[in-house]
Amino acid sequence: MLVVVLVVLGGVGAISAMFAALTGRSVPHGLAIGYYLAGCGSLVMSFVFGSRGPTRAESTDEVEDYKPTPLEVFGVPRGGRVGRRQRRKATPEERREARLVSVGLFGFGLFLILLGAAFDPARHVF
């Protein structure tokens, strides 16, 4: 987990500094914007993972009532799966994992936004 955090911090920092240098802006300003954007992205992903319902999709390999689509008749392949998809109730472990991932992404997003505020030349901590 620490490796992922360090890769995200370093990657966002490098890309933000590069774009700041290419556009003629100051590097701290570019870093602040990059960390703000990454933090907002993390908060959106936290919402997505946290709002999953209590059911999950499950593919089956049943092809009993398989009927080709009009495009398949003319040789255009179907999009990968042939079986039917069914819904099943999520296990308690899957629901717990979704909550933990959501909370972790939320905390990481807040950390990135605060890090962006620390680099932002328009904001002064003291």
Q: What is the pLDDT of residue 60?
A: 61
Q: What is the pLDDT of residue 9?
A: 94
Domain of residue 88: give its range: 15-59+80-126
Token code pair at residue 88: 């099943």
Structurally, the chain folds into a number of domains equal to: 1
In a domain, 48, yes or no: yes
Q: What is the pTM of this model?
A: 0.72
- What percent of the chain stands above pLDDT 90? 54
Q: What is the pLDDT of residue 78?
A: 57
Q: What is the pLDDT of residue 50?
A: 87
Question: Token match 């009009």: residue?
Answer: 70
In a domain, 7, yes or no: no
Which of 4-8, 20-24, 79-83 is least confident?
79-83
